[in-house]
Amino acid sequence: MRAFLAESSKIKLVNTLVVLILSIHGVSKQSFEFEKLSWFESFIVEVFTPLQQGTTTVKEKIDFAFKHYFFLIETSKRNEELKTRILELENAIFQYEEVQKENERLKELLQFGEEIPRQKVLSQVVGWDSSNEFKVLRINKGKNDGIELKSPVITINGLVGYVYRLSANYADILTILDQNNRVDAIVSRTRSHGIVEGTSNYKARLKYVVKTEPVQVGDTLITAGLGNIYPKGIKLGKITKIEKESFGLTQSIEITPSVDFHRLEEVVVLMAHENEASDKVVKDE
Amino acid sequence: MNNLKLKDIVVSFMITTVLLLFLEVFSSSFLPAVGLDEYRLGFHVLIVLFIAFRIESIYLPYLVLGFELIHSIFSIEGWASGTFAGVVICFLISYLKDLIQLNSRLSTIVIVQIFQTVWFLIVAGLITIKTDEMSYFLLRLPRFVSESLFLSLISPLFFELLSRFWKTNRDGQGVGI
C-alpha cells in the first residue's frame, strides 16, 4: 500500500511538472496580436456564442416584459381589453421605433467611410471577453462572411479595433481599449505622431509624443495609416489630459476614445482592398 | 478527501465543464448586458480551487488544464497563465492540506479569498512580465478585490454544488459547507 502511494505521488509529481512546463511554454508563445482557433475551440465558439447572444435577447425580453406588462397587471378589469389593445399598439410602435432606429444606425454606418475603398461587413456585438483585464468583444460575423484576421473594425464615431481571432460565424475584436493593442496615431491639428495604447479603464493614452510638441486638451486624434492594419484618417478620440513631468523627454497624454464602448451595438468590419482581395484569389488559385 | 477513479473523474469533469461553459456565457454576456461591463466573475478559479481542496488524483494537473482551456475560449487571457497559476496552487494546497481546516463557511470564504489573491498575483505577475507593463496590475487590482470578494462569499454554496457533481464527502478534511 505504501509502495502504491509512493508510486502515485511520483506520477502526480511528473504530471504536475509536465503541465507546468506546458503552461510556461504556452505563456512564452502566447501572442496578444492575433490567434488562430483550433477546430475544437471553433466548435465551442460556434455552439456557445448563440447562447451569449440569447442571454442578451432574454434580458431584453425580460426588461420589455417588466416595462410593458407586469406594471399593468393591477389595472382595472374594465379597461383590460382596451389596455391590452394599447399595449399591443405600444409594442408595435416600440418595435417599429427600434427597427427605425436600427435602420438609421445601419444606414449611417454604411454611409460612413464611403471614401474608404474597402468592402464593409455590418455586424452586431454579441459578447465581451470573460476576463475583465482584456477588452475584447465578440461579433456575429466570421470567416463565412469574408472577414479575415487583422481586419480593422470601426463605427460611425471612430475606430473600435481589429479582428483578433476568427471562427466560421463569429470573430473576436481586440479593441483599442486593450493595452495589447497599439495604434499609430496623429494629432489632427499639429500632425504630431504617437502610439495610442489602451489602459483598460475605458480610456487610452498617447505615448512617445515629445514635450516640445504643442498638443492641447481637446485635440483630435486620427489613425496614421502605418502598420498595415488601420487605414489612415479614422478618428480615435480626443485628448482629455496632459501631464508634463519635470523628467523624461515625452509627455503623458490621456485619450478618451470617440467610440462609446459602453453602448456599442453594431460595428463595421473593413475588408481587404478589392485589389488585395483579387490578388489573394489569384494566389490561392 | 476523495480518491476518485478515472471513470468517475471523466464524468464529473464533463458535468463541471458544462457548468463552467454556462457560467462563462453568463459572465461574458449577461453581466455586460445589465450594465456591469466593468466586472467579470472568474468561476474557473473557484472550480480549480474546489478540485485542489477536495479531489485527490494523479490527474489533477490535467483537470486544471482542461478547465483553463474551456475558459480560454471566452477570454484572450488564454489557458497558459491560468493553468500555471492553478497547478502551482494545487501543489501548494497539497502540502498545506493538513494545516488548512475548512470546516466552516467562514473559513472557506477566508481561505478561498487568500488563494484567489495568490492566483491573481501569479497571473498578474506573468502578464506584467509578458507585456512589460506594470499599469495592468494597478488598474486590475480594485476590480479584483470586488470580484474576488463576491466569489469568496458564494464559494461555500458553489462548493456544495460541485461536491454533488464530484460526489465528495463532507467530513474529514473536505471543505466546510
pLDDT at A273 over 80: no
Amino acid making up residue A256: T
State the best of B9, B14, B20, B29 to mutate against chain A, taking most chain A CBs within 10 Å. Answer: B29
For chain A, say whether B132 makes contact (Cβ under 8 Å): no
Rg from Cα positions in chain A: 25
Asked whether residue A233 carries a pLDDT value surpassing 70, the answer given is yes
- Cell 389595472 -> residue: A75
Assign A250 a pLDDT band (cuts: 50, 70, 90).
confident
B33/A130 Cβ within 8 A: no
| Domain boundaries along the sequence of chain A | 182-263
Choice between A272 and A175, residue whose per-residue pLDDT is larger? A175
Q: Measuring CA to CA, how many Å separate A179 from each of A33, A67, A118?
A: 11, 39, 27
Return the residue of A nearest to B80 by Cα: A23
Task: CATH number for A182-263: choose from 2.60.120.260, 2.40.10.350, 3.10.310.10, 3.20.20.70.
Answer: 2.40.10.350
Residue spans of alpha helices (H) in chain A: 2-29, 39-68, 80-111, 274-284
Q: Does B116 touch chain A (CB under 8 A)?
A: no
> Looking at beta carbons, which residues of chain B come within 8 Å of A16?
60-61, 87, 90-91
B64 or A129: which leads in pLDDT: B64
Residue A280 — pLDDT band, cuts 50, 70, 90? very low
Q: What is the model's pLDDT at position A278?
A: 44
Q: What is the pLDDT of residues A178-187, one digit of tens each?
A: 888 889 999 9
Residue A66: which pLDDT band, with cuts at 50, 70 and 90? Answer: low
SS3 B139: helix
Confidence (pTM): 0.62
> Is A170 within 8 Å of A283 (Cβ atoms)?
no
- Cell numbers describing residue B44: 474557473
B112–chain A nearest CA distance, Å: 19
pLDDT at position A163: 93
Higher pLDDT, A120 or A55: A120
- E-state strands within A199-251: 204-207, 220-223, 235-243
Q: Rounded to whole angstroms, how far apart are CA atoms B177 and B170?
A: 8
Helix or strand (DSSP H, E) at A86: helix A80-111
Cell 488559385 identifies what position? A285
Question: CB-based contacts of A127: which residues, under 8 Å, 6+ apart?
Answer: A49, A52, A53, A56, A137, A138, B25, B28, B29, B32
The residue with cell 509578458 is B130
In the block, which residue shows the cell 489602451?
A: A198
Cα A171 from Cα A95, distance rounded (Å):
28
Report the helix count and the strand count for chain B, using DSSP H and E. 7, 2
Tell me, what's the pLDDT at A2?
Answer: 55
User: From the list B79, B136, B147, which residue is nearest A179 (CB)?
Assistant: B136
- What is the bridge-based pairing of β-strands A204-207 and A252-257? antiparallel
- pLDDT single digits (tens) A187-232: 988 888 999 998 867 788 998 888 888 899 999 999 988 877 888 8
Mean pLDDT calculated for residue range A55-61? 70
Q: Once rounded to an integer, what is the mean pLDDT over residues A124-146?
A: 83
pLDDT (0 to 100) of residue A257: 92
Residue A113 gets the label, from left (phi > 0), alpha (psi -120 to 50) or beta, of: left
Chain A nearest-CA distance from B58, in A, is 4
- Identify the segments of chain B with pLDDT beneath 70: 1-4, 33-35, 37, 169-177
Q: Residues A85-98: what's their mean pLDDT?
A: 77
Instruction: Report the C-alpha gap between A278 and A224 in whole angstroms.
Output: 25
Helix, strand, coil share of chain B (percent; to 5): 75, 0, 25
In 3D, which of B42, B49, B16, B21 has the Cα closest to residue B162? Answer: B16
CA distance B121 to chain A (A): 14
CB of B138 within 8 Å of a chain A CB? The answer is no
Distance of CA A270 to the CA centre of its chain: 14
- CB contacts, 8 Å: B148 with chain A: none
Size of interface A-B (CB pairs under 8 A): 151
Mean pLDDT of A123-140: 81
User: In this structure, are residues A166 and A121 in contact, taking their beta carbons and an 8 Å threshold?
Assistant: no
ipTM topping 0.85: no
Average pLDDT rounded to a whole number, residues A266-278 = 70
pLDDT at A72 over 70: no
pLDDT at A283 over 50: no
pLDDT given for residue A10 in this prediction: 81
